[in-house]
Amino acid sequence: MKSKTKLFFAANAWVQGAWARDVLLTVGADGAWSDIKPNATLPDRRGASVLEGPVLPGVVNAHSHAFQRAMAGLTEQSAAAGSGVTDDFWSWRDRMYSVALRITPRQMESIAALLYAELLAGGYTQVCEFHYLHNAVDAQAYADPLEMSLALVRAAQRVGMGLTLLPTLYMRAGFDSPRLRDDQRRFASTPDSVLRLVEGVQSQVGDLAGINVGVAVHSLRAADATAIQEVAAFASRNGLAQHIHIAEQMQEVQDCLAHTGKRPIDLLFETQRVDARWNLVHATQATALELRAVAQSGASIVICPGTEANLGDGVFDYAAYAGIGGHWSIGSDSHVTRRWSEELRLLEYSQRLTRHKRNVASQTGDCISTAAALFEAALSGGKSATSLALGGLVVGCRADFLVLDMRSAALLGVPSENLLDALVFSSPDARFKSVFVAGNQVLAEGSACALASEPGPHSGIERDFVDTMKALF
């Protein structure tokens, strides 16, 4: 929807990697920044809405499985207590499948609506939804194949979250299996069905603000090279972002070696034309040579520190990858965390724990501030993840921004030049007083729950989520 030009004034705003003062922010009728003017004079500010706190750009959440929000906190009791059986990623996956097999389209919408409101409260303004829950419980296609996809679109529209929907190819259970397991039956797809989902969503949403599409392949074990090539060629022709899980778990690497003689990232580069459209999710088990190949290709890695820690995936070699200029973005994946500040903190702390050093991220680039180094890289990676003009208070980018609540305990008394550092590294996390997407306020007073209880388009979000949880569990 088109709107009139809007003017905002911020006493402090994050512009080109640093805090700028007295910034006049102009949003064009298309919802993108048309002018960013630091050191604005009093006459310049006339007619501008004054923002009551420092302003940061919104961040892209580059990897989400919305339905897994329903599981947050419910898999932390060992299913193998006293049995001597290891509780690991694969046992967690079985529990995840049991939930995935029960979720209806209406429940998907209610889960995603609360999640997306929480992500807005956590400073994300666009989410990449890695979506493979396509079919009905009995594995048959819905009468409308877009049923589950449009549930996610409705959830995003309900709360004002930007959404990049990634219909996902999922054809087989593993390298040595020609078909899916029974508990994966809802994921079944082909290159043709995925491409029809993309085209169907594009047709349905038209020019809805903040909604676009890309494509995804679940993993190399989930589809053969020819099928992946078909999806990737479609993405290339249409300028879409391409996502794939890769090298997340040691068993995945070992299976790939056993059946192909190659490690996953090596196999990907041997069988596909990997370029800047590609987004490789996790890569926690990548070698230094594989990371160099990714960096040289222009592709990005999507790092999900909260989920990678929760699932025991391992630690991504951030220092090596960032040290050679590798591009990356941040994601919350299974949503055990839902704030980018916490994801960036976990990313840095994992490096400190394994390297026995401090301020690792700042030593891989030009920034003195570790938080700034992480934040700027995450902003930049959002463009690759979405194929949209996102990524900062920059003319031409969509006008997504966050207003810090200076009443937050983590920010009290902090000098202005250290605000971003305190936001990332001082917990409990600072709040965002308000959040804007395309120049429109979508969240007030920093609380998704407070907003959900207000009359209007957000009312009932919490109630719907609670009803869904009762039905599922």
Helices (H), 283-425: 288-297, 305-310, 318-323, 340-355, 370-386, 419-425
Specify the 3-state DSSP secondary structure of 165.
Answer: strand
Please tell me the distance from the alpha carbon of residue 308 to that of residue 285, in angstroms, as a whole number.
11
Collapsing DSSP to helix, strand or coil, 34 comes out as strand
Exposure on the CB side of residue 233, measured as CA atoms within 13 A: 9
**Active site annotation includes 245:** no
For CA atoms 156, 157, 160, 162, give the dihedral sign. Answer: positive
Helix (H) or strand (E) holding 131: strand 124-131
DSSP state of 33: E
Burial 444-471 (b: 16+ CB within 10 A, else e): eebbbeebbeeeeebeebbebbeebeee
467 to 106, 107, 353, 470: CA distances (angstroms):
11, 9, 41, 5
- The catalytic position among 63, 282, 327, 335 is 282
282 flagged as catalytic: yes
Check 266, 333, 405, 421 and give the catalytic one. Answer: 333
105 within 8 A of 148, measured Cβ to Cβ: yes
Report whether 263 contacts 175 (CB < 8 A): no
Torsions phi, psi of 112, nearest 5?
Answer: -65, -35
Q: d(Cα 34, Cα 393) in Å, to the nearest integer?
A: 10
Rounded to whole angstroms, the maximal C-alpha distance in the chain is 73
**What φ, ψ does residue 59 adopt, rounded to 5°?**
-115, 145
DSSP 439: T
Residues carrying an active site annotation: 282, 333
